Amino acid sequence: MDFKLAVANEIMTAIGAVYGDVEITAKDIAGALEVPPDTAMGDYAFPCFKLAKPLRKSPVMIADALAGAIHADFLSRAEAVKGYLNFFIDRATYAEKVIGQALHDGERYGADDSGAGKTVVLDYSSINIAKRFHIGHLSTTMIGNSLYRLHKFFGWNAVGVNHLGDWGTQFGKMIAAYKRWGDHDTVAAGGVDEMVKLYVRFNQEAKADPALDDEGRMWFKRIEDGNPEALEIFNWFKSVTLKDAERVYDMLGVKFDSYAGESFYNDKMQPIIDDLRAKGLLKEDKGAQIVDLQEYGMPPALILRSDGATLYITRDLAAAKYRKDTYNFDKSLYVVAYQQDLHFRQLFKVLELMGYDWYSQCEHVAFGMVSFGGESLSTREGRVVYLDELLTQAIEKARAIIEEKSPDLEDKDEVARQVGIGAVVFFDLYNNRIKDIDFTWERALNFDGETGPYVQYTHARACSVLRRAGDADAACPDFSALSDPYSQDVVRFIEQFPDILKSAVNRSEPSMVTRFAVDLAQAFNKFYYENKVMVDDPGTRAARLQLTAATRQVLKQALYLIGVEAPERM
């Protein structure tokens, strides 16, 4: 039952009975309904100021008149207070309808077909070749993964793209370093770690010998020109990197539908350049080719350097066109740090100037930067925290806690994996995505408070209650037993779940789901401590077990949608 719409319909009926026809719809009424900050003021409140002008009466008089005309079975009462019409839902009816809907829909509770027939392309993670996966990639990876799952939940055809950073002079530098100081067997054995050592050494020695940079540029030019030796080493570096990255993606439960990176668009940029030139958008500036964006409050978009080399935006223009032609997306999301805000504003403006009306379907999903212990991360300077090491330590920490608190738990290693990785992911997605994150071991692996392990434990607690109950919930539930404030708080959160998910999709904000999971877990734990579930009265017991089952279901789904697993035992 959609209580908001039901209340809106009751208001419409009352308006018709008291005042006759008024130019307002139930949708307008529903949109104006508010949720009071305190349930003592009602479950919904309608500000009658909205009706003052069309009815030519004071809000206080309107509220008083309408309150006397509302008599719905699902309402315990409606009262007028200072121009507001406050509605109190019958507690038993409320609990019955919300819990019944959640249990009936199961894993599809909160879903709809709003995305049916639509395609969203999500560009996320976008790791760099010849560099290990570090925690600086965690936010883009997990925000993108959550948005991928959320869109699929609402019926979208989602296409996950890992836009690999596999182009640029740094790869020439890598080859130069490899040719000077590396050998095949050492790199094959050491993998990405050995490549990073070579990269760091190159940058350190280049400070004393700038000629090394020329050597690096020479090798990159050979990659661009298709030199067999350069391409062989370059492609080998890519395969080693992806093998290492896949191991981390498997740990996180993340997948992609495409690994088309920057190099994929090397032969797709010229048509874009030709199109820009044909449309009179390209201008020469000190030998470079630019699109002048001064009148739009932005610096010029540099399309070609003076030496003819392409840049990020050149490849991104080609990528945007390719994705539209290939997937015909309705929405294209770029999950990239906020430092690239200007880049994407320029990108979208150039697409608009080229006459592509689908530029408005492109969105930069910005997020804050990640530091560690107060220090920024830099592979070049050798200051980095590798994600697999962070996840491994989290798993070990979880294993130690489980050993201490639940030594007889079955599958301790599996639960430790779920809890440890879940703790890191949950921590990353807990705050609004635009906020910077400073990782410390203590905070990331904290298993108390508003954390992933706390929500997971609440889910496991609900599972435990239901296991112990067996078929004890077979009796007819007495939903009036859920009229107390603690039970009602849980019901209210469960009812809000669909709206939370819709807002998370519309705002590209997974943290809304993460915070909801904490709120629901806290409400359920208060209910659990204040109300014994396995009471003698069969109707009360059945109602409380159904509330427990609905909570378990919603918590599990919320965790899944942010990329966290839900153990049944902890």
Residues 386-423 pLDDT 10s:
889 889 999 999 999 899 989 999 999 999 999 999 99
Q: Output the pLDDT for position 427.
A: 92
| pLDDT at residue 369 in the model | 86
Please write the tens of the pLDDT for every residue from 300-312.
Answer: 999 998 888 788 9
* 397 burial level (CB within 10 Å; 0-12, 13-18, 19+): buried
Average pLDDT (137-144) is 96
- Determine the Cα–Cα distance for residues 93 and 477; give it in Å rounded to an integer: 12
Q: Give the model's pLDDT for residue 381.
A: 64
**Which residue of the set 4, 137, 324, 331 is catalytic?**
137
Going by the DSSP 8-state scheme, the letter that residue 357 receives in this structure is G
Angle 13-15-17 from CA coordinates, rounded to 5°: 70
Residue 370's pLDDT band, with cuts at 50, 70 and 90, is confident
Over 90: is that where the pLDDT of 445 sits?
A: no
Between CA 54 and CA 68 the distance in angstroms is 20
Q: Which residues are CB-contacts of 20 (< 8 A; sequence separation ≥ 6)?
A: none
- Three-class secondary structure assignment of 76-113: EEEEEECCEEEEEECHHHHHHHHHHHHHHHHHHCCCCC
Q: With DSSP H G I counted as helix, E B as strand and the rest as coil, what are the percentages for the chain, rounded to 5?
A: 60, 10, 30
Q: What is the pLDDT of residue 120?
A: 98
Q: How confident is the model at residue 176 (pLDDT cuts 50, 70, 90)?
A: very high
Stretch 50-75: mean pLDDT: 92
- The domains located in the chain, with CATH, are 3-89 (3.30.1360.70), 119-280+307-372 (3.40.50.620)
Burial class (CB in 10 A: 0-12, 13-18, 19+), 75: buried
Q: Which of 4, 134, 173, 324 is catalytic?
A: 134
Q: pLDDT band for position 377 (50/70/90)?
A: low
Place of tokens 């030709």: 274
- What's the Rg (C-alpha) of the chain? 29
pLDDT at 161 over 80: yes
Confidence at residue 38, expressed as pLDDT on a 0 to 100 scale: 86
DSSP state string for 137-180: GHHHHHHHHHHHHHHHHTT-EEEEE---B--SHHHHHHHHHHHH
- What the block records as the tokens of 335 is 């999950």
Q: What is the pLDDT of residues 541-552, one digit of tens each?
A: 999 999 999 999
H or E element in which residue 426 lies: helix 412-429
Known catalytic membership, residue 137:
yes
Q: How far apart are CA 63 and CA 263, in angstroms?
A: 65
Cα separation, 343 vs 357, in Å, equals 19
d(CA 7, CA 74): 9
Q: Which two tokens stand for residue 514?
A: 């993460």
* DSSP assignment letter at 360: G
Q: Distance between CA atoms of 448 and 397, rounded to whole angstroms?
A: 13
Instruction: Give pLDDT, residue 250.
Output: 95
141 - beta bridge partners? none
Q: Give the three-class secondary structure for 365.
A: strand
Between CA 346 and CA 291 the distance in angstroms is 9
So what's the pLDDT on residue 551? 98
Assign 362 to helix, strand or coil. Answer: strand
444: part of which helix (H) or strand (E)?
helix 441-444
| Closest to 553 measured CA to CA, from 487, 490, 509, 503 | 490
Confidence of residue 457 (pLDDT cuts 50, 70, 90): very high
To the query of whether residue 134 is one of the catalytic residues in this protein, the response is yes
Helix boundaries (H) for 448-484: 452-469
CA-based angle 343:345:348, to the nearest 5? 105
Mean pLDDT of 123-152: 93
Write b or e for each residue in 121-140: b if 16 or more Cβ atoms lie within 10 A of its Cβ, otherwise e.
bbbbbbbbbbbbbbbbbbbb
The residues near 23 (Cβ < 8 Å, ≥ 6 apart) are 54
Q: What is the dihedral of CA 133, 137, 140, 143, to 10 degrees?
A: 80
Q: What are phi and psi of 70, to 5 degrees?
A: -105, 120
pLDDT tens digit sequence for 228-263:
999 999 999 999 899 889 999 999 999 999 999 999
Tokens describing residue 223? 């990659």
Give the span between the Cα atoms of 370 and 133, in whole angstroms: 13
Among 387, 383, 406, which Cα is nearest to 395's?
A: 387
Query: Which residues are within 8 A (CB) of 452 and not within 5 positions of it... i.e. 6 or more apart?
Result: 419, 422, 423, 424, 425, 426, 427, 559, 564
What's the mean per-residue pLDDT of the chain? 93
The question of whether 71 is a catalytic residue gets the answer no
pLDDT of residue 87: 96
> How is the beta sheet containing 288-291 ordered, strand by strand?
282-285, 288-291, 301-304
How far, in Å, CA of 347 to CA of 395, rounded? 41
pLDDT of the residue at 382: 60
**Rounded alpha-carbon distances, angstroms, from residue 189 to 8, 41, 249, 284:** 68, 67, 21, 48
| Residue 528 burial (CB count, 10 A) | 19
- Tens of pLDDT, residue by residue over 108-135, are 999 999 999 999 999 999 998 888 888 8
191-235 pLDDT tens trace:
888 998 998 899 999 999 989 999 999 999 899 888 999 999 999
Per-residue confidence (pLDDT) for residue 265, from 0 to 100: 94
Place of tokens 């779920």: 418
Query: Is residue 26 within 8 Å of residue 9, measured between CB atoms?
Result: yes
Q: What residues contact 381, with CB distance under 8 A and at least 6 apart? A: 200
- Predicted pLDDT at 441: 67
Specify whether the backbone of 33 is left (phi greater than 0), alpha (psi in -120 to 50) or beta.
beta
Q: What is the pLDDT of residues 482-512, one digit of tens each?
A: 999 999 999 999 999 999 999 999 999 999 9
As a whole number, mean pLDDT of residues 462-468 equals 95
pLDDT at 27: 87
104's tokens: 């009936």
State the pLDDT at residue 311. 87
Of 97, 131, 238, 459, the active-site residue reads 131
pLDDT score for 374 = 72
